[in-house]
Structure 1
Amino acid sequence: MLLCREEVFALTKKLVQTNSVVNLGGEIEMSQVVHDWIKKLPYFKKNPTFVRYQQTIDDDIERYNVIAFVKGTKEPSDKTVLLMGHMDTVGIEDFNHLKTHACNPDELMNALKLEPLPTIVTEHLESGEYLFGRGTLDMKSGVASNLYLLKYYSEHPEKLKGNLVVITECDEEDGSRGILSALKELITLREENGFDYIGAVNADFVTPRFDGDENRYIYKGTVGKLLPSFFITGEEVHVGTCFDGIDPNFIVAELTKQISYNPDLCNEAYGEVTVPPVSLKQTDLKPTYTVQTALSAFVYYNFFVHSWSPQDVLVMLKEQAEIAFQNALDEFKRKYEQYSKLSNQPVREITWKPRVYIYEELDALLTDEHGETYINHMKKFKEDLMAVKDLDTRMFAARVVEEACKWMSDQQPVIILFYSSLYSPRIEVTGKDENEQNLLNALDEAIKQVQPAYEHPIVTKNFFPYISDASFMALSDDEDGIDAVMNNNPGWGTKHFVNYEDIRAINVPVINIGPYGYDGHKQYERTEIKFSHEIVPNLTHEVIQRLLN
């Protein structure tokens, strides 16, 4: 066992003390801290070109990745293992009056002792076995583990029959521009050094799956994440005659009722099940107050996948939207008839029918109907929309759909289904090829080696259950699945673009060995010191040894 605990602990605190909330500028300082730390190591003083300080590509703000590598000297070999971890964090506003201490673990833990806390938090605080603070769990302990191993192997290259590359990337908590940019550098490094990437280890955090869960999980592969989105039009009406039209919010409410928390939309694979979709935003697009109903509404949902492709999800959700639309119309009719009876008014016929289009279908329909006039208009509209400040990818896509719908000859209520943000691909690591089998074997052997030194069970599962940069190391989707993402994101090629060919070019199986703790993204974020600062580096070390030696 490597005697690494104190060093990883100290390095974690050093990293946490640099506030690196995503998108707010601190990522630059964080990358400089990491870069300077690496550059001071004797190996990198001797080999300065083995450290790369890479600015992200096609990014709205300035920030950097740090990529460093050690070439083993035990025997010549092109085999190369990748370690990866992100240096950005979520915000600190949830710390409330303690946010000035959020990035200083010692100050924060002293301040927490004076606060009323949940019982389990008090127990962990008093135990001395947990380190509190923003980023301690997600995921600067993991970055510290990776940097420790980089230092260890830079001091002992004779213990490597192959090479180790450590990626410390930015922007995991938002758009994954860090790892998507890093792929370019990994391709360059391969061309320059002949690296053969055979396996990757991500160091993102793990946490109990349920109350009383004592397992510490290692994940093989990762969940995929989509953001299916819906643009809904109704029929605008003065609220004094509300049954003469239909409010799109009424339709949206039924849509959310149909989709959110629906177990039928959980994806099971290899005995593991995703959590169901849940809405992340629901709004109408009415700019100001009037006494008329809104013309349109917009909603999007988190959607996790294990085995379903993006095309599968579109097909399923189109069906769910048709059900929801019909339910909304049935309920509208029932309430209208009830009101008409109460007010002694005649009942007119309700002629609306459920209409649901996938964006690709809508675009093809309008292209067929209007030809180049429509195509050129939409191209110009997107170009102009790019100039609008503070318009994120999701609202950009909604505005494009809104504009396209104006070209429909039939202006009756409609639902348009599309993707409005990044697809984080699912990855299955099942042993289907030599690299996958070797990685799985190395993991199993590493756990057997390290488990006797740790009191809690170390358990493997098939899919890392949270969004992570591990998604961009390989693709389990075929070309049709990726085409569904590209063809159904209205912002594709303007506001949003991912070069999936870069992912295919790397195509390395990935596992997740990361710090363990509680309350990631919450004010009581904390990491268990022994597992995170001792067991994680040793597990990762054992995997590296078995893959390369």
Structure 2
Amino acid sequence: MYKKLKNLPLTDQVEALTASLVQTLSINGTDGEVKIAEKIEQILRSFPYFKQRPDQVWTQELPNDAIGRKNVFAHIKGNVNSKKTVVFHAHIDTVGIEDFGAQQSIANDPAELLKYFQTYSNDEEIQTQALTGDWMFGRGALDMKSGVAVHLMNVLHFSEHLEDWDGDIIFMANPVEENQHSGVIAAVDELLRLRVEEGLDYVVAVNTDYISALYPGDTNKYIFTGAGGKLLPCFYVYGRETHAGQTLNGLDPTLITSELNKRINNNMKLTEHIEGELITPPSALYHRDTKEFYNVQTAVTSHLYFNFMVLEASPKDIMEKLKVEAKAAAAEIKAYYEENYKAFARVNQFPSDRPNWDINVYSYAEYCEKLSVQGIDVKAAASQVLKENPALELRDLCFKVVDRLRELDQAVTPCVIVFYAPPYCPHNYLTGKDARDREILQTIEEATARTSARTSDTFLVKKFFPYLTDSSYLSLHDTDEEVDYLVDNFPEWNKIYPVPIKNIRKLNIPSINVGVYGFDAHRWTERVYKPYSFDTVPRLIRNMTRSWLKVAVNQ
């Protein structure tokens, strides 16, 4: 690959490399994630620096990964006067291509997609952009193979100019970002190993995950100095089943989850409000009852979970908010049943005696305590569920654990049990309170000012990257007490989703995002803007990196 790239100008280098990476489909959960890792390793090994030092490119297999996915690492050593280290990182998996419909066969062919969109009359803006030649289309072109290409070309650049900088650069490419983040989670141990064995002093990590306009007409380019976190709050609702012909004698759990969905889904009142930061409301990712086939019995249980973005709030803060909503939903559904039963009794001239529709609300920790009082060994019961279901999808596995515990409850009544399930993405950001943070922020300010003078781009610096990102796992702001609360309300945390909290806290690398720019990530019209992404972004990162690897930064 190096031979194809070496004589090209920077913009053409990044474009050629992005197109090559897009052509290798790397859909999350497929062997394409293995193939793209192998391709990136081959590209790195084609660079002259690594031909002379082949041991400075290596892979790390993900533990217990059924597909055999792996992280790719490369290590460039500059002048030996310093061990200051900058980490370039990016994810290499993408979402699927089903959204391309009839165009699935060219979803990974930027040239063919460009021709298609140049004649695409259903969206004038997209057609106009395609006709300019300034945009590249294709699955992963924006999210985020162009970001991987930027890092690779900067690795090549710094490996060819060793005399210009002191310290070390670590490149890492991680799979499994689009759902479980297990690539970067495994990389935590590798980064710690390198710190100990190589004596590295990590200054900052730079992610190139995509940025986009935050509102119509927005032309700003954003630099993010941290990562928003994510929780996945889940609602297990146990009702009272009945024959459909006696429906008001039961308690339909889907009514409760529907009311919860209405109260929580896209509700801005449940979000944090931090001035200057993008705030996104919770969104439902899953909602269904547990019936497996048709019959005339109402559902016994119903499941619901939400994507819940977190900036500074703790797991306890979120749980308390959601329990308030659950109790309000339970009261609303109870009143709904009472009103309709009253009408039912009147129309049918029945006595006014009616069933009880009380619904209790518990956090997972509270429910486990309730069972423990009954003498039930909660840990043993949960562990047995894991043994019986070794291949079950992780969120389904958490629901299965809760369901087994409910079956063991000797005093069970209709209830809502609120718990957390994978993934947990920690939040972090530069506080500016210590010398290290201030040095990084100063470098960002100076580098963006110089770039803006050259390109006329307007840069805005914000704390929290507004989408999910692997950067969440390089440092941690949640306190031990806050993490303990999360673990207590997360079924079988240590076995189902053992995030290495202590090691992340020990690693403590601030990660900023200097992203490629484009529109429609995760849509079939996904496209990356080439002038900014293929030229401005790599030069901006080079500018920042030279500064960090010349100026002492206190860790």
Deviation per CA, 1:83-130, whole angstroms, max 9, x where unpaired?
110111111111111111111100111133344331211111111111
Match of 1:13 in 2: 19
Offset of residue 159 of structure 1? 1.3
Query: Which residue of 382, 387, 398 maps to 2:386?
Result: 382
> Is 1:69 matched with 2:75?
yes
Match of 1:471 in 2: 472
Deviation per CA, 1:284-307, whole angstroms, max 9, x where unpaired?
111221111111010001100111
Match of 2:517 in 1: 516
Match of 1:121 in 2: 126
**d(CA) in 2 for partners of 1:474 and 1:377?**
34
Structure 1 stretch displaced more, 490-499 or 81-90? 490-499
Q: SS at the partner of 1:406?
A: helix
CA contact (8 A) 1:311 1:480 kept: no
**d(CA) in 1 for partners of 2:474 and 2:435?**
16
> Is 1:30 matched with 2:8?
no
Offset of residue 140 of structure 1? 0.7
Offset of residue 245 of structure 1? 1.1
Q: CA RMSD in A?
A: 1.5
CA contact (8 A) 2:337 2:357 kept: no
Offset of residue 484 of structure 1? 2.4
Query: Which residue of 193, 197, 201 maps to 2:202?
Result: 197
> Is 1:133 matched with 2:134?
no
Query: Which residue of 263, 278, 287 maps to 2:283?
Result: 278
Deviation per CA, 1:299-348, whole angstroms, max 9, x where unpaired?
00110011101121111111111111111111121122122222222222
**d(CA) in 2 for partners of 1:543 and 1:354?**
56
CA contact (8 A) 1:217 1:460 kept: yes
**d(CA) in 1 for partners of 2:212 and 2:492?**
35
**d(CA) in 1 for partners of 2:168 and 2:275?**
32
TM (norm. structure 2) is 0.95
Query: Alignment length, in residue pairs?
Result: 543
Match of 2:349 in 1: 344
CA contact (8 A) 2:287 2:303 kept: yes
Deviation per CA, 1:17-62, whole angstroms, max 9, x where unpaired?
1111111101111111110111121111222221121111232321
Q: SS at the partner of 2:481?
A: helix
Q: SS at the partner of 1:275?
A: coil
Query: Which residue of 313, 316, 334 maps to 2:339?
Result: 334
CA contact (8 A) 1:236 1:245 kept: yes
CA contact (8 A) 2:235 2:304 kept: yes
Match of 1:262 in 2: 267
Match of 1:4 in 2: 10
**d(CA) in 2 for partners of 1:251 and 1:260?**
14
Offset of residue 273 of structure 1? 4.5
**d(CA) in 1 for partners of 2:75 and 2:255?**
56
- The one-letter code matched in structure 1 to 2:130 is L
Match of 2:323 in 1: 318
CA contact (8 A) 2:120 2:127 kept: no
Residues 486 and 60 (structure 1 numbering): CA distance in 2 closer, same or farther, change over 3 Å?
Answer: farther
Match of 2:106 in 1: 101
Q: SS at the partner of 2:240?
A: coil
- The one-letter code matched in structure 1 to 2:271 is C
**d(CA) in 1 for partners of 2:147 and 2:207?**
8
Query: Which residue of 371, 374, 381 maps to 1:366?
Result: 371
Match of 1:297 in 2: 302
CA contact (8 A) 1:420 1:490 kept: yes
- The one-letter code matched in structure 2 to 1:201 is V
Offset of residue 3 of structure 1? 5.6
CA contact (8 A) 1:268 1:307 kept: no
CA contact (8 A) 1:270 1:462 kept: no
Query: Which residue of 41, 49, 58 maps to 1:52?
Result: 58
Q: SS at the partner of 2:286?
A: strand
**d(CA) in 2 for partners of 1:265 and 1:58?**
37
CA contact (8 A) 1:221 1:462 kept: yes
Match of 2:4 in 1: none
Q: SS at the partner of 2:428?
A: coil
Match of 1:496 in 2: 497
Matches within 5 A, 1:147-546: 147-372=152-377, 374-386=378-390, 389=391, 391-546=392-547
CA contact (8 A) 1:424 1:471 kept: yes
TM (norm. structure 1) is 0.96
CA contact (8 A) 2:265 2:281 kept: yes
Q: SS at the partner of 1:494?
A: helix
**d(CA) in 2 for partners of 1:14 and 1:405?**
52
**d(CA) in 1 for partners of 2:34 and 2:387?**
30
CA contact (8 A) 1:229 1:299 kept: yes
CA contact (8 A) 1:139 1:204 kept: yes
> Is 1:81 matched with 2:82?
no
Offset of residue 434 of structure 1? 2.1
Offset of residue 494 of structure 1? 2.6
**d(CA) in 2 for partners of 1:369 and 1:538?**
64
**d(CA) in 1 for partners of 2:21 and 2:376?**
55
Quick one: percent identity of the two aligned structures? 34
Structure 1 stretch displaced more, 184-193 or 347-356? 347-356
CA contact (8 A) 1:142 1:205 kept: yes
CA contact (8 A) 2:71 2:175 kept: yes
Unaligned runs of 5+ in 1: none
**d(CA) in 1 for partners of 2:86 and 2:398?**
38
Q: SS at the partner of 1:76?
A: coil
Unaligned runs of 5+ in 2: 1-7, 551-555
CA contact (8 A) 1:272 1:462 kept: yes
CA contact (8 A) 2:381 2:404 kept: no
CA contact (8 A) 1:20 1:30 kept: yes
Q: SS at the partner of 2:230?
A: strand
Q: SS at the partner of 1:81?
A: strand
Query: Which residue of 36, 42, 49 maps to 2:48?
Result: 42
CA contact (8 A) 1:473 1:510 kept: yes
